[in-house]
Amino acid sequence: AQTVTQSQPEMSVQEAETVTLSCTYDTSESDYYLFWYKQPPSRQMILVIRQEAYKQQNATENRFSVNFQKAAKSFSLKISDSQLGDAAMYFCAYRSAMAGGGADGLTFGKGTHLIIQP
């Protein structure tokens, strides 16, 4: 079974600065997807960014980028120019691309609470 570990329960950053959230995972599979989700107090999970394991190039989405190190099984999220609206819980998640029968539910880490200080 796959596991996802987020070792930072809480992170704090000044508005307009850069912050990096850490995530490591454990899997024996060679093909999979990794995601970062944002969960504000409204509880709705919002996809921030995704990375396909077969792609060497790190994904970027505007102010959000990842550092994907496949050999180290590390998948960190960098948020540049932090904004007050970025404050939320951030979850790292793993999805198998090899499970039989189409089973592709997400395995989540415990989350990192991101605080943005004005």
Partner 1 sequence: EAGVAQSPRYKIIEKRQSVAFWCNPISGHATLYWYQQILGQGPKLLIQFQNNGVVDDSQLPKDRFSAERLKGVDSTLKIQPAKLEDSAVYLCASSLVGPTEAFFGQGTRLTVV
- For position 11 contacting partner 1 by CB under 8 A, the verdict is no
Beta-strand relationship, 107-108 and 88-96: antiparallel
The correct pick among 45, 63, 64, 76 for binding partner 1 (CB under 8 A) is 45
- Per CB under 8 A, contacts with partner 1 among 57-96 are 91, 93, 95
Give bridge partners of residue 112 from the DSSP assignment.
Answer: 90
Pick the closest to residue 66 from 46, 31, 84, 93 (CA basis). Answer: 93
Among 4, 59, 77, 79, binds partner 1 (CB under 8 A): 4
Contacts of 40 (CB under 8 A, 6+ apart): 46, 87, 88, 89
Given 8, 20, 70, 106, the residue binding partner 1 (CB under 8 A)? 106
The type of residue at 9 is P
Shortest reach from residue 13's CB to partner 1, in Å: 21
Contact criterion met (CB below 8 Å) for 114 and 88: yes
Instruction: Rule CB under 8 A: say whether 42 interacts with partner 1.
Output: yes
- The binding site for partner 1 (CB under 8 A) comprises 4, 33, 42-47, 50, 52, 91, 93, 95, 97, 99, 101-111
